[in-house]
Chains A and B, each alone.
Chain A
């Protein structure tokens, strides 16, 4: 197998950071992308020091349309072919629709919808057909369940679900493998660390640590799994989703909502 190189967007923290470390652990070279001043040079130097891989970093705001071509121009200039694309960067929130501004939703849609589409298009244009390439699109269980206070976020993740599923059909038989990652809650951002720890019972059992999700996701991606749902409780929920009547599902979601509203 040739030396692989992976692009990870949103790599400076949370799940993206765990992806970068997990790929480095598997001796895959990295191109990590994140916002300026988000600790990317420090992460790159840490990974170079602790693993035997090459790490390039690109500080860019992916909501700017020109950022996506810039990444691939950089790769081209440095004679790097990317074999793996992890479309991880995303903007989440937990708020009633009217609580957020117009510009917030614009940014959210640009980052969660536009960016993965552009990056996937540009990535496919530079792949080496003789080597298997991999694309991991980070969706969400929220793309499957309708959850209050996730109206736009959930819709962007539904987009990612359709987009990935459809490309899987189009690219069937090619040397490109696409996986959709549909995680439940992950203990990443500080506010989630606080919120998730106030959950109880089943809701709490759906929450995973980022390094667990990254390990399961990369395993699934390299195996060519179509959809990766980390965590047995989450898989059971998806199974139940197809079996349970709507009112039971609603009550689960409402209970989770209540725990959070109380805290």
Chain B
């Protein structure tokens, strides 16, 4: 069976293409650059040139495919062009669904995010829970609007299943939208030495392999129009770095930075970006989020999709091993690519 994956060079996408290819699917990997270094080379993976912003090409790419995993998105914290979030995440999704409607696609899995819920109060959020605040973060706002697009197409009869991964970590490149890898990589190098606030803020960490398996399970067993949280364990910053210390055997002295300081710093960054156009390190809307937990329950996926959750320490060990191996490998090749690894 032929399947199309959009966002095939992304952190989750590349791993999904590999998983599908290994399982015997013929995978068409949609990319804007077929020579992208993150694209996985496999006999069952066929790189196809295309862009979700250009609807004309999408129908051609979908010809012969029966399933689509639509995971292409703009997920980084900041983008020079603020409209890019809406274009990529909302209009791009509309384009993909419209093309699927006009071709012989049987089913689509759309990759959303737990960010459509965002902050939580006491208990982990479930699929039925409401969002409790507005959408100051562009990524979350546009992913929410994209979900509305999906629901619109579902009402028109298109078979789409939505999955909502939480903060994903695992074996893969350190990219801009990959927060966990940036923290782990920074910890290994000794450049990440701080814990926000009192360190008790909780977030949900989903292991990449679980999330990839969850996507395929959603394609096979998910119900049309339903959402499935693909999460992992709820872990505080303190526990995150405690586990990281145990896994790596490296003990960094960590500094707890008060949230007020982070907020002030984020405002300076915002001002810097406003005045100079240089990318910010951190933004106020993200500093505000540090006041809240982000706990999510994957029970629905566990019950309906047989979703499994890797213990955090096991997942983190694999992530660390992978990052250490890639650092050593890069060292042998050329030292300059390390910085590339950080900034790509």
Using CB atoms and an 8 Å cutoff, list the residues of chain A in contact with chain B.
17-18, 21, 39, 42-43, 45-46, 49-51, 187-188, 190, 193-194, 197, 209-212
Contacts and interface: CB of A to CB of B under 8 A. Distances in A.
Contacts of B340: none
B129 A190 contact: no
A38 B162 CA distance: 20
Contacts of B82: 197
Contacts of B313: none
Interface string B136-164: 10100100110010000000000000000
Interface in B109-134: 121-123, 128-130, 132-134
Contacts, number: 48
Contact of A46 (B129, B133, B135): B129
Given A46-B130, A49-B123, A193-B135, 18 more contacts: A17-B130, A42-B128, A42-B130, A45-B128, A46-B129, A187-B135, A187-B136, A188-B134, A190-B144, A190-B148, A193-B144, A193-B145, A194-B145, A197-B86, A209-B133, A209-B134, A211-B132, A211-B134
Interface string B44-84: 00000000000000000000000000000000000000100
Contact of B132 (A21, A39, A49, A190): A21
Given A42-B129, A46-B129, A193-B145, A210 B121 contact: no
Given A190-B145, A194-B145, A43 B121 contact: no
Nearest to A39: B130
A21 B144 CA distance: 20
5 closest cross-chain pairs (CB), A and B: A209-B134, A50-B121, A50-B122, A42-B128, A187-B134
Contacts of A210: 133-134
Contact of A209 (B130, B136, B144, B148): B136
Contacts of A51: 121-122
Majority secondary structure, B binding face: loop
A193 B146 CA distance: 12
Contact of B123 (A42, A50, A190): A50
30 contacts: A17-B130, A18-B132, A18-B133, A21-B132, A39-B130, A42-B130, A43-B130, A45-B128, A46-B129, A46-B130, A49-B123, A50-B121, A50-B123, A187-B135, A187-B136, A188-B134, A190-B144, A193-B135, A193-B144, A193-B145, A194-B86, A194-B145, A197-B82, A197-B86, A209-B133, A209-B134, A209-B135, A210-B134, A211-B134, A212-B134
Nearest to A40: B130
B122 A211 contact: no
B132 A197 contact: no
A46 B82 CA distance: 33
A247 to B, nearest CB: 30
Nearest to A186: B134
A17 B131 CA distance: 9
Contacts of B121: 50-51
Contacts of B132: 17-18, 21, 211
A39 B129 CA distance: 9
Nearest to B288: A209
Nearest to B85: A197
Count chain A CB atoms within 10 A of each CB in B132, B135, B136 and give the residue with the most: B132
Contact of A197 (B129, B133, B141): B141
A49 B122 contact: yes
A45 B136 CA distance: 25
Tell which of B123, B133, B145 has the most Cβ of chain A within 10 Å. B133
Nearest to B148: A190
Contacts of B123: 49-50
A46 B121 CA distance: 10
Nearest to B120: A50
Contacts of A211: 132-134
A18 to B, nearest CB: 8
Contacts of A42: 128-130
Nearest to A210: B134
A46 B129 CA distance: 6
B41 to A, nearest CB: 39
Contact of B141 (A39, A45, A193): A193
A59 B133 CA distance: 23
Nearest to A207: B134
B288 to A, nearest CB: 10
A12 to B, nearest CB: 8
A45 B144 CA distance: 22
A84 B82 CA distance: 41
A18 B133 CA distance: 7
Nearest to B130: A43
B32 to A, nearest CB: 25
Contacts of A193: 135, 141, 144-145
A26 to B, nearest CB: 13
